[in-house]
Structure 1
């Protein structure tokens, strides 16, 4: 196995920068793509959250849970809001609490999610920037609402397959051929979305998760060389698994997040885009502003472009 030899990227936008490649997104670029968007058809690229949903638990992280904290009948009994039986008998009050790993379901990885030798993107160190509860740098709150040109690299479609085989390493040539097939090129400021076909099996966790087909490190580096601002895929880690590199168990994560400053979007539903042959679109996505968090749930949407 080869070595990945990932290095910590230093931002060209200054010593305090926490946005990385997202700095390429500007008001001008957002207005340009919005002007081309066909709002009559909006594709929801996210998945539902529910008890028992497939999620990454291999490293001991919790599964998604939801609990009622208030129910109409219960509120009438416990009167926790203090307004009394008469009001609680008339007003039906419900409330709930969710508990989950921040990398559950359709979500975006912040730049502090992975690092190398104690440093995350732009050289922030654990000693200086990691508090008792969360990182003080590179958190999910630093990710602005993304409004950009999205490009679908449908590798499963290119191969004529419903889903790529487990652990298939997507090559540079695969990416180039997928683009050529649609007559498209990746441009600076784009968001690249890679379809492996895994979402065709959702929510069967035995087929959606584990040994994912995904980008090889060489393909990941080629894609970031095109100037993208974010990368996404329909499986759990964007990159191929298990790792092809002896010195790094998730080299793609370390490349995108630590080396290139490119946020990663995982577990996207790209099936409808592929079905309708929508390879170029306006992508709109915004994370929850979880201060210091390494990731956040995301609701990405795609709108076809007007010719």
Structure 2
């Protein structure tokens, strides 16, 4: 913010403000309004279901990219942004950000992958091996991308489409196939356990917008328009050490305060190693408020159950927390999402 001070006029003398001085005051006001020129103003707290609905109506990106838009905030990833992201590839080292598909039921896996072999090498006349995969990927086990048709609110999906367009035949609009060309951009890892000096966040830890800003300050990496943000809570590290637990009932995750932050930053995609929202929910009557705010209102692409453990180690070893990031979902017409294997490249 530009601050201009002047000595007070002598007693009894009326002083006219010079035209130049007025112009300087105007310039100062304009500079203070620029993003990043001053501290970001705090949004009103979101505590109730009514607050969530009010925030969504005030901040929604509906019609921002036209009445027929299918991509939402992914529109923020311009060709120039992709070229900029490609310049982050310096070593050619790639790291998967997907968790292995779970094949056994456990406290946090209610729908394991069904993997059936159709043809094997056990028969002497076999020329090929073949298998069949069946997966119900939504939930808290499998790394997946949510399509924009995934979340309804008051009868509407993102961009104001009627939720009745989602039928037994699939999503009539906003299906995951809208992302068939891939989501390719700059990725930024926000490693909350590393910020706090712990191995993982304990379940039900709420991640605030102030935590995201503290990580930016620590790493000197600022999230910008069109970025993909990968938030690590350490869920998989804790699971490896202590065993699975019911993540649907208790999980570290994003507080509603982060939605305003993601909007201001112009984030295109948010990935977490949990189900995005902190659980138990902090907003009475709304189980997944951040899902609603990001997907339905802002049109941000969301990846649940990512696994950034290897990415955390790779980033720490290089002292680099931004990188080239790509996601290629299955081209499923009418699909509400897709299993994905996101790739970070240093």
Same fold (TM over 0.5): yes
How far residue 126 of structure 1 moved from its aligned partner, in angstroms, is 2.2
Output one character per residue of 1:73-127: Cα deviation in whole Å (capped at 9) or x when no partner: 5xx6xxxxxxxxxxxx544232211111132511111111112011100011123
Aligned residue number for residue 258 of structure 1: 296
- 2: distance between equivalents of 1:64 and 1:90? 29
Aligned-partner Cα distance in 1 for 2:300–2:196: 27
1:230 aligns with 2:269: yes
Whole-Å separation in 2 of the counterparts to 1:123 and 1:209? 29
Q: Within 2, Cα distance between the matches of 1:64 and 1:223?
A: 32
Check 1:157–1:209 CA distance in 2 against 1; reply closer, same or farther (3 A cut).
farther
Alignment of 1:206-285 (within 5 A): 206=245, 210-235=249-274, 237-276=275-314, 277=316, 278-285=320-327
2 CA distance for matches of 1:102 and 1:275?
26
In the TM superposition, what is the alpha-carbon distance from 1:172 to its structure 2 partner? Answer: 1.3
Q: Secondary structure at the match of 2:229?
A: strand
Task: Select the residue among 177, 188, 193 that pairs with 2:230.
Answer: 193
Is 1:125 paired with 2:178? no
C-alpha distance in structure 2 between counterparts of 1:164 and 1:201, whole Å: 8
Question: Cα deviation per residue 1:244-302 (whole Å; 9 max; x = unaligned)?
Answer: 11231111110110000001112222122322423111111111111111110111111
CA contact under 8 A between 1:44 and 1:302: conserved in structure 2? yes
Any gaps of 5 or more consecutive residues in structure 1?
77-88
Query: Within 5 A, what are the aligned runs for 1:113-152?
Result: 113-127=150-164, 129-143=165-179, 144-152=181-189
1:28 aligned onto 2:63? no
Aligned to 1:100: 135
Q: CA deviation at 1:56?
A: 5.9
Of the candidates 104, 113, 128, which is equivalent to residue 64 of structure 1?
113
| Structure 2 unmatched runs, 5+ | 1-46
Query: Does structure 2 retain, via aligned residues, the 8 Å contact 1:55–1:105?
Result: no
How far apart are 1:170 and its partner, in Å? 0.7
Q: Which moved more, 1:94-103 or 1:257-266?
A: 94-103
Contact 1:11 1:20 in 2 (8 A): no
Question: 1:286 and 2:328 equivalent?
Answer: yes
Structure 1 residue 209: Cα displacement: 6.0
The residue that corresponds to 2:342 in the other structure is: 300
Q: SS state of the match for residue 296, structure 2?
A: helix
Q: What residue number does 1:205 align with?
A: 244
Q: Secondary structure in 2 aligned to 1:150?
A: strand
CA shift for structure 1 position 55: 8.2
TM-score scaled by length of structure 2: 0.77
Which one of 200, 209, 217 corresponds to residue 172 of structure 1?
209
The root-mean-square deviation of aligned C-alpha atoms, in Å, is 2.1
Whether the 8 Å contact between 2:149 and 2:157 is mirrored in structure 1 is yes
Indicate if the aligned counterparts of 1:141 and 1:291 stay in contact, CA closer than 8 A: yes
Deviation, 1:48, is: 1.5
Contact persistence 2:152–2:163 (CA under 8 A): no
Q: CA deviation at 1:20?
A: 0.2
* Matched residues, number: 285
How far residue 231 of structure 1 moved from its aligned partner, in angstroms, is: 0.3
Q: CA deviation at 1:50?
A: 3.8
Highest RCO, 1 vs 2 (Cα 8 Å, sep ≥ 6)? 1
Which structure is larger by alpha-carbon Rg, 1 or 2?
2
